[in-house]
Amino acid sequence: MKFKKITISFLVVFTLTILAKLMAFLSELVISYYLGTSYKADAFNTLNGVHLILYPMLSLGIWAVFLPVYKKISVTINVKEADILANKILNLFILISLVFSVVLFFFADIIVGMVAPGFNHETKLLTTDLLQIVSIQYVFIIIASIYSAMLEAHKKFFASKIREIVSYLPLFILGFFYYDEYGVKVFAYALVFGSILRFLIVLPFLNWGYKFRIDLDLKNKNVIEIFKNFPAAITNAAVIQLNTLVDRILSSTLEIGAVSSLSYGQRLVNVFNGIVSTAIATVWYPTATELVAKNEKRELKNHLIKIIYLISAVMIPVTFISVFYSADIVSTIFERGAFEQKSVTLTSLAFTGYILGLCFYSYKEIIDVVFYSNGDTKMVMKISIVTVLSNIILNLILINILGVFGLSLATSLASMIGFIYSFFKIKKYVNIHAREITSELIKIIVASLISSTIAYIIYKYFMFALLLKLLSSVFITIIFYSLFLIIFKAKTIRIIIGYIKY
């Protein structure tokens, strides 16, 4: 593929990713408007938390092991043989997903008891009802995931990514028209309809001659290879999500609204993390893979250092701004409907705790690229396990001292531990030392702290509406931050100017 086509594909994926993040965030606003931080919100957010663990395990797990084999067969043999394999895998996972959905339905009360042991009887019953309603959605999610992998193998990125966006539409429509009549259950039905839409939207794009056929002949080396690698893939995806599950389980033992406040706070942080670090990782991944293949370790190291500088230059000031204006940010975005002042206070505490780990989440995502480029998926899993174990220990220590803030802070501290561990392990592939980046990071931290403090002092004297005050303060912070980076002769400024000239 020519560079121009690669660039266009990247822009399509990047734009749709931003739109999907926006839709996810808007869905949070809708949920917060109708439910606030009530016991109904806790029930739905617990359901959503279970989904956020199961979805990556199933969707990303299948995608990770199926796509490479499908692509290899389509290139080395032909597309028809690849489609035959796709039908075998599709039939297999449809059966697995049906069994999985039945288990979810009949054992919903046990599952709820495990993930939210601190809920009272009423909240547990509601959460169980919601989980039973959505249990069937995983059949459609798995089918859509396999079709999505096929589309990406055929470089139909728009078709693959648009499914994430349309899946949120039923939540907005059903919530607006039917919430008063059906209450919180309408959002559970919206998730089911969203999963069906996710599946239906990709069908018109499977237009290269593919036809679905029932094929249960699984005595095929490629099917065996995919099925053998699937447990490792879902383990990788599951371990990453366990931090969220641990927070939810422990928060269910706190006051009503704790589960929801953590959910809203984490989603707010994910807006920054998902767009910035994921975008950079996506752009860098092909280059890193090429450099590893050519054994150009020095160039790989230079790229890694520059990317750490660029992520720091964005994420560190974002962290300071978020901490300074935490309550006002949450109030501006969420405070309406059932989301009252108490909800703002709880959510701002959770948001502050999570945002302190923003840089570490991003650093780890970039370092993971180096491990993946070298084919070292086991190390990524080990780092994730270390992070989860650290989170569990820190949660148990901090929950009784700091409550909701303690749980979110524990996640950030665990991410820091995971990053430090990965930074030392990356030396196997890149000879990088902390002293090579420390000086630049100190300049960025000092510039961020001074500029944020100046802007916050000025902010106190603003007489505008809250949103305008926040935007004005962010603008002032950016001006002073850029000025101090220039005064400190930060390397990041030269890197950015170099990219602009290029």
Say what angle helices 185-200 and 157-166 make with each other, to 10 degrees: 170
Contact 30, 171 (CB under 8 A): yes
Task: Please report, for residues 127, 179, 188, the alpha-carbon distance to residue 124 in angstroms, rounded to integers and kept in the order given.
Answer: 5, 21, 15
Please check whether residue 160 is in contact with residue 151, taking contact to mean a CB–CB distance below 8 angstroms. yes
Q: What is the DSSP letter of 205?
A: G
d(C-alpha 374, C-alpha 376), whole Å: 5
Supply the pLDDT for residue 308.
Answer: 87
Question: How far from chain centre, in Å, is Cα 244?
Answer: 11
**pLDDT number for residue 6:** 39
The CB density around residue 85, as the number of other CB atoms within 10 Å, is 21
Spatial distance between the Cα atoms of 97 and 50, rounded to a whole number of angstroms: 16
Q: How many residues does the chain have?
A: 502
> Pick from 138, 258, 140, 119: which is nearest to 196 by CA?
140
Residue 240 identity (one-letter amino acid) = I
**Sign of the alpha-carbon torsion through 380, 149, 243, 114:** negative
Residues 6+ apart with CB under 8 A from 48: 263
CA distances from 71 to 51, 68, 76, 149, 485 (A): 29, 5, 9, 9, 46
Cα separation, 26 vs 40, in Å, equals: 19
- The whole-angstrom separation of Cα 418 and Cα 384 is 7
Report the SS3 class of residue 36. coil
Identity at 340, one-letter amino acid code? E
CB atoms within 10 A of CB 439: 11
Residue 287, pLDDT score: 65
Judged by DSSP in three states, 502 sits in: coil
**Residue 314 in contact with residue 332, Cβ under 8 Å?**
no
- 172 and 156 in contact (C-beta within 8 Å)? no
Q: What is the DSSP letter of 427?
A: G
Q: Supply the pLDDT for residue 408.
A: 87
CB 402 within 8 A of CB 409: yes
Residue-wise DSSP of 71-124:
HHHHHHT-HHHHHHHHHHHHHHHHHHHHHHHHHHHHTHHHHHHHH-TT--HHHH
Please state, in angstroms and rounded to a whole number, the distance separating the CA atoms of residues 159 and 242: 30
Two tokens, residue 268: 């707010």
For residues 129 and 184, is the Cβ–Cβ distance under 8 A?
A: no
CB 186 within 8 A of CB 179: yes
CA distance 68 to 489: 45
Per-residue model confidence as pLDDT tens for the chain (502 residues): 433 443 455 566 667 777 887 888 788 788 878 887 678 888 887 887 777 667 766 666 676 677 667 777 776 788 888 888 888 888 888 888 899 889 889 988 888 888 778 788 888 888 889 989 988 988 898 888 888 878 877 777 777 778 888 888 898 888 888 888 888 889 989 999 998 998 899 899 988 888 888 888 777 788 887 777 677 666 666 666 677 777 777 877 777 777 778 878 887 887 777 666 766 665 565 567 667 767 778 888 888 888 888 888 888 999 998 888 888 888 888 776 667 778 888 888 888 988 998 888 888 888 877 876 676 767 877 888 888 889 889 988 988 888 888 888 998 999 899 899 988 888 888 888 888 788 888 999 999 999 999 988 888 777 777 788 888 888 988 999 989 988 888 888 777 666 555 4
- pTM as predicted: 0.67
CA dihedral 40, 46, 51, 56 (to 10 degrees): 140
Which 3 state secondary structure label does DSSP give 256?
coil
- pLDDT score of 286: 53
pLDDT recorded at residue 436 = 79
**Of residues 101, 84, 64, 430, the one with CA closest to residue 234:** 64
Residue that has been written with the tokens 């400190």 in this structure: 488
Measured at the alpha carbon of residue 82, what is the angle toward residues 78 and 87, in degrees to the nearest 5? 150
Closest alpha carbon to 421 in 372, 354, 368, 369: 368
Hey, CA dihedral for 48, 281, 352, 317, is it positive or negative?
Answer: negative
DSSP string of 336-382, one letter each residue:
STT--HHHHHHHHHHHHHHHTTHHHHHHHHHHHHHHHHTT-HHHHHH
The angle at the Cα of 452, spanning 448 to 453, to the nearest 5 degrees, equals: 120
Task: Please state the separation of Cα 10 from the chain's center in Å.
Answer: 19
